[in-house]
Structure formats: C-alpha cells, structure tokens
Structure 1
Amino acid sequence: MGVMIALANFQNKFNTWNGADNSTIKRVNEDIATDMQRNVKPLQLPQLFGILGIGMAGSYIIRVLAGMDFIPKSDIMSTSTWSFIIITAVGIALSFTKVRNLEYYGASKIGYLGIFLYLPGIGAQANLADIVQSPQFLLMGVVWLSIHILCIFGAARLLKAPLFFVAVGSQGNIGGTSSAPIVASVFQPALAPIGLLMGILGNVVGIYAYAALLCGQLARMVAGG
C-alpha cells in the first residue's frame, strides 16, 4: 500500500511513458467532486443512527444467517466465507435503493473509521515471533506479490492504462475495499468511491467467480492441509 501511494507522485511520468490517456479520469474526478459539493449534507442524528443501525444490525443478522445449519459448510466454505458472500450481495442490492443516499451524509467516512479500528485489532493479535518459525510463508508472499506485480504492469502496458487504474486495481486485489479507496483518493481526491467500487468488484470476482475459493484451496495445498 505504501508503494502504491508513493507512485502517485509519478503518475504523469508513467502515463506519458505508457502512452496512457488520463483525461477521462481527471474529468470524472471533477464531476464527482462537483456532485458531492452540490449534494453533500450535514450529518445529523437520524442519519447517523441509520448508518450505524444498518451496518451493525445487518452484520449481525448476516453473521447469524451464515452460521445456520441449513447452509452447507466445509473447510473452505466456512461461516466467514458465507458471511462475505451474503454481505456482498446485500451491499450491491442496497446500492440500487434510497439507502445509497446516505453517502451524501458521510456513510463512507463512518465506514472507514470502522475499518481503521478493525484492522489494528486484527494486527494486535499477531505474534511477530512466529515469523522466525515460518519464514517460508514470507517467501511465499514475496513470490505471489511478484507474480501479481508482473501481471498487473504487463496488463497496464498492453492496455496503455493510466497509473491510477494500475495502483487502485492492484490495491483492490491485495487490500480490497478497506484500502483501495485510500489509494484512489491519493491519486485523485474525489475518486475514493471508484476505489471502493474496484475493491467491491474484486470481492465479486473472488466470491462469485470462485477465484477466492480457488485461492483458498491452493493455500490449503501449500499448507499441507
């Protein structure tokens, strides 16, 4: 993520070298910024409770539903896997309703706050001493990321894609919805929603095209399970 953010300083040079047309991205950035300025509303208690209520109640209900006995489970298709499948579908469905207007009250900012609290909580549970005992997993990560970098820059060169799509697309695959919007906002301040959409698209492809399940099975094979 740090590397992707640092690349923002070189996007003009990269686009010139790659022959990429960045004018559409700049125009969309300006259009979204204008739309947000025109429609943004102050966050009040009803909207705040609505955002928190939908997020918390929805997460709890989906988690309970994913853990029910009638939903088939396996080593890979666990309760967590089903939770991601259901919550992705629900999120996409709600985007076609009036619930999407909560974005004008700062729904994404509240969501980012929740993510920023959640991610350190996960990291705090890690035992750094285990790194010394399992260096092969670090090597595996380096190999996988190297393949990812070669593929994404190869595709960018072939498609003459702007660096914005390279960085946000990469972060959308690696970090998902939690960090792709951050990288997008560094490249183009108003395009954080585009980063979020690309992260969601990565989830959709991973979940509904079985790419994530395939990666899970490969990881299980590597771990010898």
Structure 2
Amino acid sequence: MFVCYTLPALFSYFGVVDASESNIDDYVKAHFIPCSLFLLVMSTDFVTLRTVGGKILLMFFIGAIGVCIGGPISLWIGSILFPDQLLWEGRNATWRGMATLMANWLGGTANQLIVKEIHNVGDAAFAVMVTINVIFSGIWMAILLFIAKNQPIIDRFINADLKNAPIFIEDIKPSLDRRKRFLGLSLLILSLLFIFLFCHSFSEYISMILIDNFPILLQFNLGSTFFWSMFISTLLGLLLSMSYARHVFVKQVRFLSFFLLYFMIMNIGLNIEFTSFQSILYYFTVGLIWFFVHIIILFLFTLYFRLPIFYFAIASQCNIGGAASAPVVASAFNPNFASVAVLMAVLGYTWASFLASIIGHFMQYIHP
C-alpha cells in the first residue's frame, strides 16, 4: 500500500503526471469503492466465524472498542499538548484525518477511503494518516512476531491459563452442483452490475428524499449520497455472503477487490501535498497515544481472563493490521489459525465505515 501511494505522489511532485484536470476522483468514488467493499464483505464466511470460539471473537471486539475509545482520548490529549500545532478547522482538520485512520484500524483501506469521502477529508490530512498507519502497522507486526517466538515465556510471566486452547477451523469450500454454481454466479454478476451501474443513482435518490423530508439528518452525514452507496454495498455483500455466491470464485473476488483498492490508493497519491508532512511529529505523538490506549485495554482483558498471549496478539493484529497481515501473525503462533485471522480481519469491513464516521462526527467537537 505504501508503494502504491508514494510512487504516484513522487510522479505528481516531479511533474511526470498531472492529475489537476482529471475527473477520475468522482468516477472512483461513485463506482470503484462501492464495488470493492461489496466484494470484500461478500467473500467473508460469517457462518464459519460462529464456530471459532467466543473468547477470540470477544478479544477482537474488545480491540475494536479500544480503537474507538482511543481516538477521542488521544485527540483530547493532543488538544492540551499541541493546541497550536494541530489543525482544528477545514478539510485537513485533525479529527477528519483521525476518522479515516480509525476506519483503517477497525476495518481496512477500503473503509479508510470511504470515510475520507464521507467526511470530505483533505489530501494533506489523509497523507499523514496513511503514513502513520504504515509505520505503526509495520513496527507492531514486528513486535508481535517477536512475541510469537517467545510465547511460552510470556504465558508463564502473565500466568496464563493454558487450558484456553484455540479451536482450529478451515474455511472449507462446499461441493456445489451445476445448478447451485450457476445460481451463485448469477447472483454475484447481477449484484455487482447493479452496484457498478445503478448504486450511485439509487443512493442519490435516497439522499434527496432525506434532505427534503428529514433535514436534521444532514448533521450526521445521513444525507450523503456516498454514505448510502456504502450502506447498500455492505447490505448486499452481507446477504450474498450467506448464499451460494460466496463460494463462487472466492479467490478471484478478493483479488479484484484488492486491485480496485490499490488503484484508488494510487489515484489519491497523485494529489498528495508534501507540505502536509511538516507537522507529522505532532500527529505521530497523538497516534502513539491512541495506539497505547488500544494495547492497554486489550492487554488488561487478556490478564483478566488469563488468556494465552496469542489471543492478545491475533485480536490486535486483526484490528490494526487487517486481512493482509493478520494471517502472518496468526501463522507465527500456529499455522492452523491463519484462516480464522483472515475471517475476523475481514469481518471488520462490515462496521468500520459506520463506526468511524459516527465517532468522527463527535470528535469534531474536541478542540482547545
């Protein structure tokens, strides 16, 4: 992701590519992002997730709560420590950028792009948050891999109850006859075509109705066309994840969704402003406080339940790292747990955009 973002930024900075006259942003926003989110949600096996075990799922949810709580707390501390260094107004306000980072830590890059559009986040604030995410995710993953190598020592140190053994499962693809495969493929194609061709127009219609009849909802961004586009995409993805469509071309669907994501990141990189990195140290400090709130809350519950340290590590990485790196950390503890980590990480895509947009709305009231 970092390469997809920085290379186009360098091309734009040195004049190799000029994106100032391009209208591709609107096209990406209206078509690519909803399709990518739909495919990611649809490819998640929610039925299998129920068999994982309550404790690992509970720790994953606690980690998400830590991210939600840590955002407002760290911004409040930042308003005390750096009242003049952080931006509080405009499209590059700190709370807007932090809302996108929260979406990434709760879900993934798709959610970060969604919240960027919902809250109309400036490219400068977004660039800083992308950088913070890459740095923190990389360092934290290295630390968790170190923990994996020393798991027995750490479990003894925290007095973990080793009877809390994991439940290993595999995301098994069922055998589909020709009729079921045709039905699943038809549902997938029709839904994808609807989202690509008509979702934006249908969302505009819903938005106009709400604006005309319920203007009070505008302050919560519920009159946003983009918000309803994301809502429809997520809902359709959830419905199809419980149908035969989930088992048709699963790997290809995920490949296409990530291809669309990387394309969108490259497009954003063309509009990056390098002047946005001048105050990155202050934003980095706020992000570090936020990160520690998430870690402390998750670790305290690990101690309270006397869980082995791998519960803490996998739950945290499924939030912070996402679907790409979570199975790597999980495999370091036990290779059989990789599929569970992928399922939990992708699960965050379903709620990350909505939680981050709502909490971001309330974070705008935090200022010096």
Taking structure 2 as the reference length, what is the TM-score of the superposition?
Answer: 0.45
Q: CA deviation at 1:218?
A: 3.0
1:32-89 superposed Cα distances (whole Å, 9 cap, x missing partner): 4xx36x87xxxxxx99998677546425533333333124552542333333332222
Unaligned runs of 5+ in 2: 1-136, 176-181, 212-216
Give the SS at the match of 2:325. helix
* Counterpart residue type for residue 150 of structure 2: K
Partner of 2:360: 216
Partner of 2:324: 182
Partner of 2:209: 70
> What is the aligned counterpart of 2:286 among 136, 140, 157?
140
> What is the aligned counterpart of 1:61 among 194, 198, 203?
198
Question: Does the CA contact (< 8 Å) of 2:203 and 2:226 recur in 1?
Answer: yes
Alpha carbons of structure 1 residues 56 and 162: separation in structure 2 relative to 1, 3 Å: farther
Matches of 1:154 and 1:57, distance apart in 2: 46
1:106-139 superposed Cα distances (whole Å, 9 cap, x missing partner): 3223323332333343344332312325765443
Partner of 1:3: 139
Q: CA deviation at 1:95?
A: 0.8
Identity of counterpart residues, as a percentage?
19
Matched, 1:110 2:256: yes
Taking structure 1 as the reference length, what is the TM-score of the superposition?
Answer: 0.67
> What is the aligned counterpart of 1:154 among 265, 280, 300?
300
Q: CA deviation at 1:181?
A: 1.4
Alpha carbons of structure 1 residues 80 and 171: separation in structure 2 relative to 1, 3 Å: farther
**Larger relative contact order, structure 1 or 2 (CA cutoff 8 Å, min sep 6):** 2
Q: Which runs of at least 4 in structure 1 moved beyond 6 Å after TM superposition? A: 46-53
Matches of 2:281 and 2:218, distance apart in 1: 28
Matches of 2:306 and 2:278, distance apart in 1: 41
**Which of the pair has more CA radius of gyration?**
2
* Counterpart residue type for residue 81 of structure 1: F
* Counterpart residue type for residue 182 of structure 1: A
Matches of 2:193 and 2:309, distance apart in 1: 36
Root-mean-square deviation (Å): 3.9
Alpha carbons of structure 1 residues 172 and 101: separation in structure 2 relative to 1, 3 Å: same
* Counterpart residue type for residue 64 of structure 1: S
* Counterpart residue type for residue 141 of structure 2: I
Give the SS at the match of 1:181. coil
